Structure 1
Amino acid sequence: MSAGEAHGQAEAKAENAAGAVKDTANQALDKAIDATSENEGQAQLRKEEAPGIIQQTGEQVVNMAQGAYDGVKNTLGVGEKK
């Protein structure tokens, strides 16, 4: 094998390796884009659900406070109709 042939083979191998690296990088980029899109969708869904969750939590706090208030009134005998 001559020096020219060896150089040509080395060049071909380098091009193949570079192509494989590009393919791997493109696959990784595609996966990253897919993951980002999925995360954005989940974030949007959570953003849309948040007001409802906050409303429910607020109602639960009000109900618990009312229950505690009524419990204290009953314990002290305040507000009972006789």
Structure 2
Amino acid sequence: MDTQNASYQAGQVKGQTQEKASNMTDKASNAALSTKESCQEAGQQVKAKAQGACDAVKNAVGGNK
């Protein structure tokens, strides 16, 4: 019986470890996706600001006529 109990316990530990690893992988994936989205949003903001600055310079020198 002790061998069966030890085998059962080992299976339980293996399952718990796999579940924890899966959860950690999911969290890392979510963090990476969030970072990617944040970077894309920051890039869009920089692009918009640069376009605004460019338009302002064109307006100042009469380039939009």
- State yes or no: 1:9 paired with 2:38: no
Equivalent pairs counted in the alignment come to 57
TM-score where L is the length of structure 2: 0.76
Q: What is the CA deviation profile of residues 2-50 of structure 1, one whole-angstrom value per residue up to 9, with x for unaligned ones?
A: 1111001000000000000011111111110110000000000111111
Structure of higher RCO (CA pairs closer than 8 Å, 6+ residues apart): 2
**Pairwise CA RMSD:** 2.0
Aligned counterpart, 2:36:
33
Q: Which amino acid aligns with 2:17?
A: A
C-alpha distance in 2 between matches for 1:35 and 1:26: 14
C-alpha distance in 1 between matches for 2:20 and 2:57: 53
Q: Which amino acid aligns with 1:17?
A: K
Q: Which amino acid aligns with 2:16?
A: K
TM-score where L is the length of structure 1: 0.62
- Bigger-Rg structure (1/2): 1
Query: Which consecutive residues of structure 2, in runs of 5 or more, have no partner in the other structure?
Result: none
